Amino acid sequence: MALTSRHLLRLQGMPKDDITKILDTAISFKEILNRPIKKVPTLQGKTIVNLFFENSTRTRTSFELAERRLSADVLSFAASSSSVTKGETLKDTARNIEAMKIDMVVIRHNAAGTADFLSKVINANVINAGDGQHEHPTQGLLDMYTLREKFGSLEGLHVCIVGDVLHSRVARSNIFGLQTMGAKVSVCGPATLLPRGIEQLGVDVYHHIDDVLPKVDALNVLRIQMEREAGGYFPSLREFHRYFGVTKERLDRAGKPITILHPGPINRDVELSADVADGPHSVILEQVLNGVAIRMAVLYLLGASE
């Protein structure tokens, strides 16, 4: 029943059986979410802390909802209200939480490796809700769940990740998870926004979106942070939209339906045009619902490993 690890830190190196177990478990939780009464007693008596050192309304809400649906006691810390800003080290923060006898910690932090670090210094189960530019494993899992639901299987599927791969933890979790599940992954973006050595991860690299569209089943379109323009990664958002934006016109030229994913929040008409985001092949809102189911599955499976 349990997973091979007590923590969910990354999808890189996660066994295929574990991923399958999470995706399968999420199916029954999604059923629960569609019932009139959406609450189960699975984690009654367990205390979960959501440690959000970085703002994220969506991920935090999704985790909180998942935790409450499982009847856990939930505490949430936001960076602004915590003592981190007062110079307390992460280890001290962690030790204080530990002293309060918490069972599980969900952590979001702007530096890669913080979930790893936490898992080494406290006894609670640690769930990585996004660490810097490293990984966002529950996002990767919910993307895979959404794709599997749509296509029946991930084996042999071709997914292209579009946009700012360099700064994206979503991209890394998708690459590692999808490859483990037998899917083919490509990346497409400006050369300045693809990290060095990305081709060594076994992905095909594209710089022209029209070249890759006819070959793929799905696009995972990444959010482009507005500050990247100021950072000089590309000349202007207008140019980015013109050459890397996913538009209806482009998709129509590909001559086949392509499923559109986006981790949100969307910059409409920058990386994704509004008609595509709201169009018939968009599964963006499904991702949101599946996110709660996936997080319930992860919390349940890690709680069950105790």
Partner 1 sequence: MSERILLRSGRLIDPPTGRDEVTDILIVDGTIHTIQRSITPGPEDKVVDLTGKIVAPGLIDIHVHLREPGYEHKETIETGTLSAAYGGFTAVCCMPNTNPAIDDESIVTFITTQGKKAHDGIVDVYPIASVSKAREGKTLAPIAELVHAGAVGLSDDGAPVFDAKLMRRALEYATMYKVPVMQHCEIPELAHGGVMNEGKVSTELGLPGIPGIAEEIMIARDLLLAEYTNSRYHVCHMSTAAAVDLVRQGKKKGISVTCEVTPHHFTVTDELVRSYDTNTKMNPPLRTQKDVDAIKEGLKDGTIDVIATDHAPHSLDEKEVDYIQAPFGIVGLETAIGLTVTELVKPGHLTLRQMIEKFSTNPRAIIGKPVTVAAGERANLSFIDPEAQWTVNIAAFRSKSKNSPFNGKVLTGKASGIYNHGKLMLY
What is the torsional sign of CA 280, 271, 179, 126?
negative
Measured CA to CA, the distance from residue 76 to residue 74 in angstroms comes to 7
Our finding on whether 169 is near partner 1 (CB under 8 A) is yes
Task: Single out the residue of 128, 133, 139, 174 in contact with partner 1 (rule: CB under 8 A).
Answer: 133
**Sequence-ordered strand ranges (E) for 60-156:** 73-78, 104-109, 125-131
Closest CA to 55 of 74, 75, 81, 32: 81
- Residue 109 binds to partner 1 (criterion: CB under 8 A): yes
Which of residues 18, 73, 98, 116 is near partner 1 by CB under 8 A?
116
Residue 186 β-bridge partners:
160, 204
Rounded CA separation 143/79 (Å)? 27
| 25 Cβ neighbours under 8 A, 6+ residues apart | 297, 300, 301
79-108 binders of partner 1 (CB under 8 A) = 89-91
Residue of the chain from 15, 113, 156, 257 that contacts partner 1 (CB under 8 A): 113
Judged by CB under 8 A, the residue of 200, 227, 236, 255 near partner 1 is 200
Using the minimum distance from each CB to partner 1, give the nearer residue, 27 or 111. Answer: 111
Among 64, 103, 131, 271, binds partner 1 (CB under 8 A): 131
Query: Between residues 195 and 279, which has the closer beta carbon with respect to partner 1?
Result: 195
By CB under 8 A, name the one of 111, 191, 274, 285 that touches partner 1: 111
Residues 127, 302 contacting (CB under 8 angstroms): yes
Q: Which is nearer to partner 1, 113 or 156 (CB)?
A: 113
Asked whether the beta carbons of 300 and 25 are under 8 A apart, the reply is yes
Q: Is 7 in the site for partner 1 (CB under 8 A)?
A: no
| Contacting positions for partner 1 (CB under 8 A) | 12, 89-91, 109-114, 116-117, 131-135, 169, 172, 195-198, 200-201
